[in-house]
Every structure is written in structure tokens, then in C-alpha cells.
Amino acid sequence: MTNQTEKTAFNNSDAITEQSVIIAGGGHVGLSFALLLAAQGIASSIVERKKYPKLSPKEDAKRTHYLDSRNTALSRRTVQIYQEIDLWDQLQSHACRIDSVQVSEQGSFGYAQLNKEEENVESFGQVMENAWLGRKLLLAVQQSPLIDLIDGANVTAVEQSATSVTLTYDTDTEKQQSLTADLLVACDGRDSTVRNLLDIGTKDYDYGQTAIVGVVQTDKPHEHVAIERFSPAGPLAVLPLTDADGDGNDPVQAGYRRSVVWVCKSGEEKQYLEDDALFMATLQKAFGQRAGTFIEAGRRGAYPLTRVLAERQVDGRIVIMGNAAHTLHPVAGQGFNLCMRDAHVLAKMLGNQVLRGEDIGDPQMLKAYERARQKDQKRVIRFCDAVVHGFTHPNPAVKLARNVALIAFDKLPNVKPLVANYAMGLKS
């Protein structure tokens, strides 16, 4: 698929540079990064393995089933990033804000809650269907004069010189096609082809857990409350969603749809995928009546949980980004939001290079980007692992300590704002 003949400029800059970027991987991170580059006046080509669907701006996204979808929790900082490139107005109709976050442990006394009024914020973030987010990102990319889309393309080789980088790919109709640019950014997922071609190793950790992801309906409205619950099997989450045909801008919604992330031991997932009654009964036991009664469950997907960290994120004129750089446990919904902060920082740095008339593929500048992102990345990785291991440790003394810590977090002054800002991605 290539760009449509008529395109609408989707950038905030009047200056278009001849310098260009190849983006390997056109998922949510790759598409978002291309739009961030366009906002800086930088042209890019996206090379994606899968075939993109044919979309029309005049057709609204239709849900295939009321309860059939995967969802993403967008932090407040991610929402701000989409606002910067004038995309949020197109996204927010299917976004459901999070006004409050409740944290507790199954069978224990510990409890904490964050409220937007106490933290003086509009919301802690937004929950959105993956299909809707992907559709709107793809439409925006298709309409941008600075972005070229090449789908159905399998990357076969990567070569770089002192002044450029070349990516070679095959399609169903043509073999050994090549693109050359100043910079290559690999956003091609956890099992990144580009990363493997560069012989960049990874540090992997298997949590021994599988996430069951889907949408459920409860008899109690969510009232824009996100519930984080910890069980012996692992962390769980129930997040608010817009109504099936509702509008995220509508203040009056029934709000009975919820996104669920249920973590079980690997090997146990089949029963939760195939048996709706068992799945809902298990959720009910874990959450009690905090979310009301679970009355219906949609189709679910199972995703083995592993942490995959690239040993380096820059190799000459090549940057490893997104899940190719760091695939994290989904606890607290930090993974995609961390990727978006990476993408935003790099796009800004490349924009500054353009303004100075300097090379956007300068390896020293790219190394500076890698160093600049280390603090935020390490903090999020440590936080995710601490929560996963801390709340699944069976030792009674550890269990008591973490529940006391939850109570302390809920009561001590000045602690909540710090944690809330980190969770919203506002401090990195």
C-alpha cells in the first residue's frame, strides 16, 4: 500500500527536510513515531510485514462484537503527545477516562486509592480499544504527505555506511527491494528482525505467567474507576471502557463494559479461554464485588509474559524502539506509554538536528538519545518487576509488609502525588 494521491498535511512544521527515516514495523508505535516525525517536518517510510486493511476516512470503525476487543491504557503523558500532533480530537470519541484507581490484594486488608480531584488532574489517563487506535493512526499516516507506507514486506537485510543505512525487503510480487535513508528505527516487535540481523542480544526473563486479555460486562457501572487487584497467581486489572455505541465525550454513559487483564500461571490459560462461566467465576472470586457481578465475557486472547530487553538500543545509524527495545510485564499498563515517551523524545531530538542543519543519523546524537532515556526506562522496568514479584511472594511476612505499605501509601502526605505523576508519565 502506498500513500493516497490526495493527502492532507498532518504536521505542525512548514519546513520539509530532504533527510529521511526508515521505520521497520508499522504497529501502534511505528505509526505514532512516523506522525511525530511528520510534525517535525521529517519524511519517513514505514516497512510493515503485515498487510494493512483498506480504510476510508468516511467509514466509522465498527465493533465486531460488543465484548470483543483488546484495549490499551494511555497515560496522561501519552494523551498529551497525541494532542501535540493534533490527533487526540480524532481518538477521544472511543476513549474512556480514568478518574480513580483502586489498588488492593485478594484476601488482605491493604487498600489504596488515587482520585483525580485529590491530584488536581483532568484524569489519570484513557482506555481505548486497540482497533480504534490503530485505525486512526493508520488513517492519519495515509493522509500525510511525508509518510510512505510499504506493507506486506519482509525485511531480509540491513546494511549501513558512515553516511546512510539501507534496508532490503521482499514482497509477494517483488524480491530484493531496497530503501536507503539517513536513519533506521526498528519498531518491529519483541522478536525484532532488525535487532536479530544486527546481532543485538537480549536479556530475557520468563515470568511463568500468561495474560488473559478481553472485555467483560458487569451489572455495576464502572464510574471511570480502574481496579488493580493482586492475587496469588499475579496482578489483575479491570479498566473502564466506553459504551458499545457511546462517545467518550458524553458525560452520561451507562458504563458497564470493562477491559480485563487476568494473569494466570502458564499452562492454565486454556480453561479460562474456553469456559466463560469458569472465567467469570474466577474473576468474581478475585475481585469480590468491587466491580459488581460479572455477567458476560467476550472472546479472549492469551499472551505469555516475558521481559525482553535489548542489550543496546543504538547501533550506528539504527535505533531499536518499542517492544523491540523493551517488552515489559503489563502490570500498571506502562509498556506502550514508555514506548511513546521514547518516540517523542527521539522525534524532538531529530527535529532539533534538522533546525541546526545537522545529520539526523549522527551516531553520537543517537547515543545521546539512548543515554537520555535510560533513567525513565530503568525506573519503569524496576517498578514493574517489583510489583510483580512483591505481590506474588507467598511469605506471610512479605504479604504483611506490602499490605502495610499500601495503607501507608494511602495515608501518608506527599507520596500519592509523586507516584501519580510517575504513573501518568509526567515525570521521567
List the CATH number of the domain containing 374. 3.50.50.60
C-alpha distances (whole Å) from 179 to each of 20, 167, 260 are 10, 5, 41
Spatial separation of the C-alpha atoms in residues 88 and 378, rounded to whole Å: 28
The set of cell numbers assigned to 279 is 472465567
Which DSSP category does 322 fall into? Answer: G
Structure confidence at residue 74 (pLDDT): 94
Residue with cell 517483488: 174
Strand partners, 148: 45
Structure confidence at residue 10 (pLDDT): 35
R_g over Cα of the chain = 22
Spatial separation of the C-alpha atoms in residues 335 and 186, rounded to whole Å: 16
Provide the whole-model pTM: 0.88
Spatial separation of the C-alpha atoms in residues 255 and 226, rounded to whole Å: 12
313 lies in which domain range?
20-423
Q: How many domains does the chain have?
A: 1
In sequence order, the 6+-apart residues with CB closer than 8 A to the CB of 67 are 214, 215, 216, 217, 257, 296, 297, 298, 299
Which DSSP category does 59 fall into? Answer: S
> Would residue 401 count as lying in a domain?
yes
Structure confidence at residue 64 (pLDDT): 46
Length of the chain: 428
Residue with cell 489498588: 103
Strand partners, 128: 72, 95
The one-letter amino acid at 96: C
Q: Is 214 within 8 Å of 260 (Cβ atoms)? A: yes
Spatial separation of the C-alpha atoms in residues 359 and 318, rounded to whole Å: 13
Spatial separation of the C-alpha atoms in residues 411 and 409, rounded to whole Å: 6
Spatial separation of the C-alpha atoms in residues 202 and 200, rounded to whole Å: 7
Structure confidence at residue 94 (pLDDT): 87
Strands 20-24, 183-186: parallel, antiparallel or unpaired by DSSP?
parallel
Phi and psi at residue 294, to the nearest 5°: -75, 120
Structure confidence at residue 150 (pLDDT): 95
Spatial separation of the C-alpha atoms in residues 229 and 227, rounded to whole Å: 6
Structure confidence at residue 395 (pLDDT): 60
Per-residue pLDDT of the chain (428 residues; tens, 9 = 90+): 444 333 433 334 443 345 699 999 999 999 999 999 999 999 999 999 999 887 777 765 554 445 556 889 999 999 999 999 999 998 988 899 999 988 887 777 677 788 888 777 888 889 998 888 999 999 999 999 999 999 999 999 999 999 999 999 999 888 899 999 999 999 999 999 999 999 999 999 999 999 999 999 999 999 999 998 877 777 788 999 987 665 555 655 668 899 999 888 999 999 999 999 999 999 999 888 989 999 999 889 999 999 999 999 999 999 999 999 999 988 777 899 999 999 999 999 999 999 999 999 999 999 999 999 999 999 989 888 877 766 666 666 666 666 566 666 566 666 655 555 655 566 65
> Would residue 2 count as lying in a domain?
no
Spatial separation of the C-alpha atoms in residues 140 and 134, rounded to whole Å: 10
Q: Is 67 within 8 Å of 215 (Cβ atoms)? A: yes
Strands 294-297, 202-218: parallel, antiparallel or unpaired by DSSP?
antiparallel
> Would residue 8 count as lying in a domain?
no
Give the alpha-carbon dihedral of 418, 421, 427, 428, to 10 degrees: 90
> Would residue 65 count as lying in a domain?
yes
> Would residue 428 count as lying in a domain?
no
In a 13 Å sphere around the CA of 120, the CA atoms on its Cβ side amount to: 2
Q: Which helix (H) or strand (E) holds 102?
A: strand 100-105
Among 212, 242, 216, 213, smallest CA distance to 298 is for: 216
Structure confidence at residue 157 (pLDDT): 97
> Would residue 128 count as lying in a domain?
yes
> Would residue 33 count as lying in a domain?
yes
Structure confidence at residue 35 (pLDDT): 98
Spatial separation of the C-alpha atoms in residues 208 and 213, rounded to whole Å: 16
The Cα angle at residue 287 between residues 282 and 295, in degrees rounded to 5: 65
Q: Decide: residue 101, CB within 10 A, 0-12 exposed, 13-18 middle, 19+ buried.
A: buried
Q: Decide: residue 56, CB within 10 A, 0-12 exposed, 13-18 middle, 19+ buried.
A: exposed
Residue with cell 487526540: 88
